Each structure stands twice: as C-alpha cells, then as structure tokens.
Amino acid sequence: MTIIVTGGAGFIGSNFVFHMLKAHPEYRIVCVDKLTYAGNLSTLESVMENPNFRFVKLDICDREGVDKLFAEENPDIVVNFAAESHVDRSIENPEIFLQTNIIGTSVMMDASRKYNVKRYHQVSTDEVYGDLPLDRPDLFFTEETPIHTSSPYSSSKAGADLLVLAYHRTFGLPVTISRCSNNYGPYHFPEKLIPLMIANALADKPLPVYGKGENVRDWLYVEDHCKAIDLIIHNGKVGEVYNVGGHNEMANIDIVKLICKELGKPESLITYVTDRKGHDMRYAIDPTKIHNELGWLPETKFADGIKKTIQWYLDNEKWWKDIISGEYQNYYEKMYSNR
Ligand code: NAD
Ligand code: TYD
C-alpha cells in the first residue's frame, strides 16, 4: 500500500505521517510538500531514514511534477493536507489560498483520476460551516449543516470541498472528506493561538487576545484527528463527509488563562487587541456520524492534551525558536504592532 500525503511537513500532516508509519509499518508513505513558511523539514527528521518513507519537495499546483510523481509511485491512496491554513493571512492576501487550496486540490484529483487511486481523501475543516451564535449552546455542526463561510480561508476550503464532491459525482472518483475542529499538539506553527501564547508567555511578552476573547473553538488533540483520518481512509464510505470533533468547547480567554497558569505566568500579560475582521464566534462539531459508523472517539482529554503540548514546547524550544527568529519576525511585526 502506497499513500501520498501532501502537506506532510506541516502541523497535522507531519503528525499523520508519524501515526501512519507507526500504525501501519508495512505501508509506504510518500510526503509531498512545497515547504512554504509553514512547512519544516526538521519536523520530519526522525523519519527521513525510514525505508518506507520518501519526501518530495513539490507544489501541489505543479501539474507536471504531480503527474510524474504519480507515474513513479502509482499510489493507492492520496490524503491531501496541503493548504494555506491561517485565517489572518487569508485576510491579508487571499489569492494564494485560492491557488493552493482550490487549484492544488483539482491538480491532485486529476492525477488521482488518471492513475486510478482507490481513495482520494480531502482534509477539510469545520470552518466551512461558518459559525454558531454564543447564546445557542444547543446548536452543533452536522454533516447536513449548509456551507456558509466567513473568511477567504474557509471559503477556499469550502470551494475545494465542493470540487471534491463534484469529482465524485461527475467522474466517479472515490473520495471522502473529513471536516475537523481546531487541532492542538506538537509541531503546531507558532502563528496559531495555542503555540503563540505559549511562546509569548515563556518570553514574558504580551498575550494578544482578539476582541473580548469570548470566541469559542472546539479543540481536539492532533493525534485523535490523525486516527480519525486513518479510520476514514480504510473504512469510510466513498462519497461521504465525516465531521471530526471532541465536544471540547472553550473560550479563547480561558485557554490563554490556562496557559498562564500552567507556565506560572501572570494574567497581566494578557492584552486585548483589535478583533479579527469577520471573526467567527463559535465552532462546535457533532461527531455522531463518525462515532456510529466508524467507532471513532477522541482519546485525549483536553486537560491532559494541553499539559502534554506545553511540555512538548518546553522540551523542543529549538524547533519553534528557529521559526520565530526568522522571517516570522516580520509577520509578527506586521500583524501585531499597533494592533
Ligand atoms: P500547516 O499550515 O501547519 O501545514 C500546511 C503544509 O502544507 C505545510 O507543510 C506547507 O508547506 C504545505 N503546503 C502549503 N502549500 C503547499 C503547496 N502549494 N504544495 C505543497 N505543499 C504545500 O497546516 P495544518 O494546520 O497542518 O493543516 C493541515 C490541513 O488540515 C489543512 O488542509 C487545513 O485546512 C486542515 N485543518 C486544519 C485544522 C487546524 O486546527 N490546524 C483543523 C481542521 C482542518
Ligand atoms: P487560530 O489559532 O488562528 O485558529 P482559527 O482562527 O482557525 O480558529 O485562532 C483561534 C482563536 O484564537 C480565534 O478565535 C482567533 C483567536 N486568536 C487570538 O485571540 N489571538 C491570536 O494572536 C491568534 C493567533 C488567535
């Protein structure tokens, strides 16, 4: 079994590569990644020498390169994680989101059709459903919730999802889609809420909370997401969408306060800054379908997962300090100075 995993040098993709090599040591995993600002080859250091692993630096929009790789590898399964993934960046510059997230998806699916892959899996997000109001805790996203996006990021992911379903109906491509809630865990790029707050708190820098910090996200430990995708590619029904989430809703401000507490840092570091444009209020997944059909349940409780994650950032300072000392400095200045 050969699996092409795109975006495997990023946060969730790398965790998925580690999970698959461990759970299925007989599979060949071919990681395709352009190594954008978010991709980091040092993340994959521990598997580079594994004879069942191959890394290929490639843009998923590069039709010729993708075709050549499929001809070489003749993959059974394709799992597409590669994407521009940060909402704030999509507000600054939407175009690259359309390019990678939509055009890149079509290139990967065209190759999957031509080389008759047995399964094309699209890693999507709960953000395609838009948001829920804070005063309706009874409402959750199901797979039937209409697509209703807020940001250029979520719109590009929704566009890709529609294309994936269209390739299934029009060409019979054997597809599945997973729509997961916010992930956290090792190798999370420090522009995102949890790692950014850990890195800033450790440096005694201000903790920039958007708006009032009341927005709610449904957090899932990254390994649980990887296990869900493993189940879907093996046992999921072709043409179906699966929501993935762990009923673990938390307001941003409570997460930031928890990080302060765990690190022994004062809450006075918290600084309320101008809100994100179009900021989604609440995400909440109903995971009944994946539980009933595939037996998936999240295994890591947030209280344990956040401790493990903070410990990982303490033990792996070099990984994230190398990132925040480079080009990222300019990004941080641009996004947060005078905010
Ligand atoms: P990430 O930004 O950490 O990683 C993205 C990876 O894709 C990077 O390694 C990058 O180099 C690579 N990439 C970007 N453009 C590429 C291109 N044109 N060709 C090849 N590689 C390219 O993102 P992540 O948080 O790991 O998210 C992975 C996927 O999961 C995305 O599709 C995202 O929409 C989805 N998702 C993320 C979350 C979350 O909480 N992070 C939740 C649900 C779904
Ligand atoms: P983020 O990690 O960017 O994920 P997403 O927007 O895809 O859910 O942000 C999570 C939440 O944290 C979101 O409501 C925005 C908020 N946030 C802050 O308050 N401050 C920050 O510096 C960042 C990066 C995010």
**Is ligand 2 within 6 A of the CB of residue 233?**
no
Residues 56, 35 contacting (CB under 8 angstroms): no
Q: From the CA of 108, which ligand is nearest? A: 1
Q: What CATH number is associated with residue 15?
A: 3.40.50.720
- 60: nearest Cα among 40, 72, 75, 78: 78
Q: Which of 120, 129, 131, 153 is catalytic?
A: 153
Alpha-carbon span 167 to 92, nearest angstrom: 30
**pTM metric for this prediction:** 0.98
pLDDT 10s digits, 242-274: 999 989 999 999 999 999 999 999 999 999 999
Q: From the CA of 200, which ligand is nearest? A: 2
Q: Ligand 2 mean position to 194 CA, how many Å?
A: 8
Q: Ligand 2 mean position to 295 CA, how many Å?
A: 30
pLDDT band with cut points at 50, 70 and 90 for residue 211: very high
| Rg, C-alpha atoms of the chain | 19
**Is ligand 2 within 6 A of the CB of residue 227?**
no
Q: Note the pLDDT of residue 30.
A: 98
For residues 222-231, average pLDDT: 98
Q: Ligand 2 mean position to 265 CA, how many Å?
A: 20
Query: Two tokens at 5?
Result: 């995993």
Atom of ligand 1 nearest to the CA of 36: 11
Q: From the CA of 80, which ligand is nearest? A: 1
> Containing domain of residue 101, as a range?
2-336
pLDDT 10s digits, 136-187: 999 999 999 999 999 999 999 999 999 999 999 999 999 999 999 999 999 9
pLDDT 10s digits, 24-63: 999 999 999 999 999 999 999 999 999 999 999 999 999 9
Atom of ligand 2 nearest to the CA of 125: 7
pLDDT 10s digits, 270-319: 999 999 999 999 999 999 999 999 999 999 999 999 999 999 999 999 99
Q: Which of 33, 59, 84, 126 is catalytic?
A: 126
- Site to probe by mutation for ligand 1, drawn from 5, 11, 155 as the one with most ligand atoms within 8 Å of Cβ, is 11
**Catalytic residue list contains 153:** yes
Closest protein CA for atom 25 of ligand 2: 193
Q: Number of folded domains in the chain?
A: 1
Q: Ligand 2 mean position to 238 CA, how many Å?
A: 33
Angle (CA) 8 155 110, round 5°: 55
**Catalytic residue list contains 313:** no
Alpha-carbon span 276 to 150, nearest angstrom: 11
- SS3 of the chain: the string is CEEEEECCCCHHHHHHHHHHHHHCCCCEEEEEECCCCCCCHHHHHHHCCCCCEEEEECCCCCHHHHHHHHHHHCCCEEEECCCCCCHHHHHHCCHHHHHHHHHHHHHHHHHHHHCCCCEEEEEEEHHHHCCECCCCCCCCECCCCCCCCCCHHHHHHHHHHHHHHHHHHHHCCCEEEEEECCEECCCCCCCCHHHHHHHHHHCCCCEEEECCCCCEEECEEHHHHHHHHHHHHHHCCCCEEEEECCCCEEEHHHHHHHHHHHHCCCHHHEEEECCCCCCCCECCECCHHHHHHHCCCCCCCHHHHHHHHHHHHHHCHHHHHHHHHCCHHHHHHHHHCCC
**Is ligand 2 within 6 A of the CB of residue 252?**
yes
Q: Ligand 2 mean position to 316 CA, how many Å?
A: 22
